[in-house]
Chain A
Amino acid sequence: MTTITARRHRHDDDLPAGHHPSKLSRTLVWTGLVLFLIYSIAPVWFLIVSATKDQRDLYTTNGLWFADFHLLDNTRDLFTYHDGIFLRWMANTLLYGVAGTVGMTVICVACGYALAMYRFRGRGILMGCIIGSFLIPGALLTIPSFLLYSRLHIVDTPWAIIVPHFFSAFSVYLAKVYAEGAVPPELLEAARVDGAGEYRAFFTIGARLMTTGSATIFLLGFVGSWNSFFGPLVFLRGEQKWTIMLGLYSWLNIKVDQSVDLTGLVIVGAIVSLIPIVALMLSMQRFWRSGITLGSLK
Chain B
Amino acid sequence: MSLDLKPKPLTTPPADRGRDVRSSGARWRRTVALKGASFTVPFFAGFVLFTVVPVIMALSKSLYTAKSSGLGFGAKTVSFSGFENFDRALHDVKFWGSLWRVALFAIVVIPLIQATSLTLALLLDSVRRRVAGKLRIAMLVPYMSPGIVATLIWIYLYSPAVGPLTPFFELFGIDANFYSSRLIWVSVGNLMAWGSIGFNMLIVYGALQAVPRDIFDSARVDGASEWRIAWSIKVPYVRRSLVLVSVLGIIGTLQIFSEPLLFRSMTPETVTKDFTPIMTIYNQAFAVGDFNYAAALSIVLALVVGLISAVFYKLTNKAPA
Total count of chain B residues near the partner, CB < 8 A: 115
User: In the complex, A40 Cα to B36 Cα: how many Å?
Assistant: 46
Q: Smallest CB–CB gap between A16 and chain B, Å? A: 6
* Max chain A Cβ within 10 angstroms of own Cβ: one of B120, B146, B282: B146
On whether the beta carbons of A199 and B35 are closer than 8 Å, the reply is: yes
**Pair A192/B226 contact, Cβ less than 8 Å:** no
Are A140 and B299 in contact (CB-based, < 8 A)? yes
Point out which of A21, A50, A252, A263 has the most chain B C-beta atoms below 10 A from its C-beta.
A252
Our pick among A30, A129, A297 for the contact of B210 (Cβ within 8 Å) is A297
The binding surface of chain A is classed by DSSP as helix
Q: For chain B, what secondary structure do more than half of its interface residues adopt (helix, strand, loop), or is it mixed?
A: helix
* Chain A positions within 8 Å of B150 at CB level: 43
**Residues of chain B within 8 A of A111, CB atoms compared:** 39-40, 42-44
How many Å from the CB of A199 to the closest CB on chain B? 7
Question: B220 CB to closest chain A CB, in angstroms?
Answer: 4
CB-based contact A282/B137 at 8 Å: yes
**Interface core residue of A133, A140, A147, A293 (most chain B CB under 10 Å):** A140
The answer to whether A256 and B15 touch (CB under 8 A), given A21-B226, A63-B163, is no
Q: Which of A18-74 contact B (CB under 8 A)?
A: 18-19, 21, 25, 29-30, 32-33, 36-37, 39-41, 43-44, 46-47, 50, 58-59, 62-64
Q: Which chain A residues lie closer than 8 Å to B257 at the CB level?
A: 139, 230
Quick one: given A41-B141, A198-B32, A292-B199, are A36 and B120 in contact (CB under 8 Å)? yes
User: Once the chains bind, are B36 and A120 in contact (CB under 8 Å)?
Assistant: yes
**CB atoms of B3 and A122 under 8 A apart:** yes
Contacts of A273 in B (CB 8 A): 146, 149
| Docked complex: A101-151 residues within 8 A CB-CB of B | 107-108, 110-111, 113-115, 117-123, 125-126, 129, 133, 135-148
Which stretch (B55-63, B107-115, B170-178, B180-188) binds chain A? B55-63
Of the stretches B75-83, B84-92, B122-130, the one at the interface is B122-130
Taking a contact as CB atoms closer than 8 A, the residue among B139, B144, B261, B262 that contacts A281 in the complex is: B144
Q: Is A193 interfacial (CB-CB < 8 Å)?
A: yes
CB-based contact A46/B194 at 8 Å: no
Determine if B27 is an interface residue (Cβ-Cβ < 8 Å). no
Least distance between A30 CB and chain B CB atoms (Å)? 8
Given contacts A263-B162, A296-B203, contact A122 B4 (CB under 8 A): yes
The listed residue with most B CB atoms (<10 A of its CB), out of A135, A143, A281, is A143
User: Which residues of chain B are within 8 angstroms of A121 by Cβ–Cβ distance?
Assistant: 4-8, 33, 37
The 5 sampled A-B contact pairs (Cβ below 8 Å) are A37-B139, A125-B1, A144-B58, A252-B266, A263-B162
